[in-house]
Amino acid sequence: MTPTARRALLLLLLTPLLYVLAGAPQSASAHTELVSASPKDGAELKKAPGHLTLTFDEAVDLADVRVLTMGGDRLPVSRTPGGGADTVRVALDAPERGELAVMWSVVDAEDGHASSGRIALTIGAAAAGTGGDEAAASAPDPSPSVRKGLVAARWAGYLALALFVGGLAFVVLLWPRGAEEPRSRALLVLAWTVGLLATVATIGLQGAYGTLGGLRDALRPVTYADLLATEPGVVLAARALVWVLAAVVLGALLQGGARTSRSPGWRVGALAVAFGLLRTTGMTGHSSEGADPTWGAVADFVHLLGASLWIGGLAVLTLAVLPRRRARELAVVVPGYSRLAAVSVTGIVGAGLVLAWQVVGSYDALLHTSYGQLLLVKTGVLGAVLLAAFASRQWVRTRLDLAVLLRGDAATVRPFGYSVAVETGLVLVVLAVTSLLVTADPGR
């Protein structure tokens, strides 16, 4: 086994230890859901109630619970006297007769997912002509435009993470000279810029998504302030801070070039930044849901690390190495990346199996829930990516020596370039499906 493959394998094997040192999550939690309401939905009451009691399946923060009248007015929410952290009391201004309908929503403290519903009560004899429009009103849902924006921001964030972490790893492990190549330098700068902007945009969009607001709400300072007071907001803020620290690592590399990429001190800093980015990205997913959240989080980290090494390296190879068509460079870099990609894909597949069972939990959920079906789509596209990667690997085995002899002749290298381009395009589809999975309800 080559030193490059040994280093990549060692990094994957050390992940559990890194997680223990960093404090992996120890408790599992699905999306917060309403367990019961008192008075319950559809109740017919003789007297107008002064309050409504909501009980959820886990502890909730008062700031994460919103209850609105059908007119859009927010109702006061407080703790129930003698109740637990999973119960809240809503003050009502109910009419003496007729129907009262309210809409509730709660934001999950772990991943920021919003759950919502509607509760309708009939007080006394229903007034003639009432119960029409209000009774037909459906439970509130997050704005489709906000959800699409959130998916797009997450897609951009995943791509930037893979390009930055994988690109740095490619330069350090396989191609130190790439630190001085304009194309690879531009790629790393673009990845850093997109990563930071996507994280900032995600904060606003996540805040609007959790409060069932619109795109305008995603731009309001109060939305940022409210979300940053929650656990998902703290995680996103930490990720933004790590991106800021990544600018120091990137700046040193751009200034020092290949010499800096070989520096032990710089490598320690780059490893710390990469670990922080991967860790904070995984903390906003579904990996902690299931019977064993600690191993789910470890598997998620390995999954993200393997994907970053594979995708980021693929991008540098496609956009920076292949256009140079330097025979000796190809002879060193391409086989090294092929071995690194093989180790990465092994980690992706193994960790993906753990995550699928951890989150979905059953074959029935895999086949009959939107989350499970999206996961199957992702798996199918990933299979197509692996076929393209296999074609690239076959070229390395059978045609690389010829390409070297012909000094990187364009006609000889072109089939490999096509295969890599197809692989890259399919990877972008995989990232898009991954972004949809984050905002979908788990199959479990």
Rounded to an integer, the average pLDDT of 191-208 is 93
Contacts of 360 (CB under 8 A, 6+ apart): 366, 369, 371, 372, 375, 442, 443, 444
| 73-87 pLDDT tens trace | 788 888 888 778 888
CA distance 299 to 134: 46
CA distance 385 to 381: 6
C-alpha separations of 147 from 159, 280, 345 in Å: 18, 21, 30
Give residue 195's Cα distance to chain centre: 12
**What does the pLDDT read at residue 92?**
85
**What does the pLDDT read at residue 434?**
61
Q: Where are the alpha helices (DSSP H) in 142-220?
A: 144-173, 182-210
Rounded to an integer, the average pLDDT of 179-200 is 95
> The tokens 């109702």 sit on which residue?
75
The neighbour count for residue 289, using CB atoms within 10 Å, is 21
Rounded to an integer, the average pLDDT of 9-23 is 44
CA distance 344 to 9: 8
- The single-letter DSSP state of residue 40 is P
- The single-letter DSSP state of residue 65 is E
Partner residues linked to 261 by β-bridges = none
CA distance 345 to 5: 12
What is the torsion angle, in degrees rounded to the nearest 10, for the CA atoms of residue 404, residue 408, residue 412 and residue 416? Answer: 90
Kindly state the percentage of the chain with pLDDT values over 90. 18
Q: Count of alpha carbons within 13 Å of 304, Cβ hemisphere only?
A: 28
Lowest mean pLDDT among 358-362, 391-395, 426-430: 391-395
Helices 182-210/144-173 angle, 10° precision = 150
Which structure tokens are listed for 63? 């700031």
Rounded to an integer, the average pLDDT of 215-233 is 86
- Please say whether the beta carbons of 117 and 106 come within 8 A: no
pLDDT band for position 187 (cuts 50, 70, 90): very high
Which structure tokens are listed for 115? 């759950």
What is the torsion angle, in degrees rounded to the nearest 10, for the CA atoms of residue 55, residue 60, residue 66 and residue 70? Answer: -20
> The tokens 């000094």 sit on which residue?
407
Of 66-80, 137-151, 214-228, 261-275, give the range with the top mean pLDDT. 261-275
Taking the complete model, does pTM exceed 0.95, yes or no?
A: no
What is the torsion angle, in degrees rounded to the nearest 10, for the CA atoms of residue 305, residue 152, residue 444 and residue 362? Answer: -60
| Residue bearing the bigger pLDDT, 50 or 73 | 50
**What does the pLDDT read at residue 91?**
87
User: Would you call 384 exposed, middle or buried from its count of C-beta atoms within 10 A (0-12, 13-18, 19+)?
Assistant: middle
Pairing between strand 98-107 and 114-123?
antiparallel
Q: Quote the mean pLDDT of the chain.
A: 75
Q: Identify the helix (H) or strand (E) that includes residue 418.
A: helix 410-439
| 83-120 pLDDT tens trace | 788 888 888 877 777 787 887 777 766 656 667 778 88
| Residue bearing the bigger pLDDT, 352 or 435 | 352
Contacts of 110 (CB under 8 A, 6+ apart): 29, 231, 232, 288
- Please say whether the beta carbons of 203 and 350 come within 8 A: no
Q: What's the CA angle centered on 187, arms 186 and 189, to 5 degrees?
A: 65
**What does the pLDDT read at residue 374?**
65
| 227-283 pLDDT tens trace | 888 778 888 999 999 999 999 999 999 999 889 988 999 999 999 999 999 999 887
Lowest mean pLDDT among 93-102, 171-180, 366-375, 406-415: 406-415
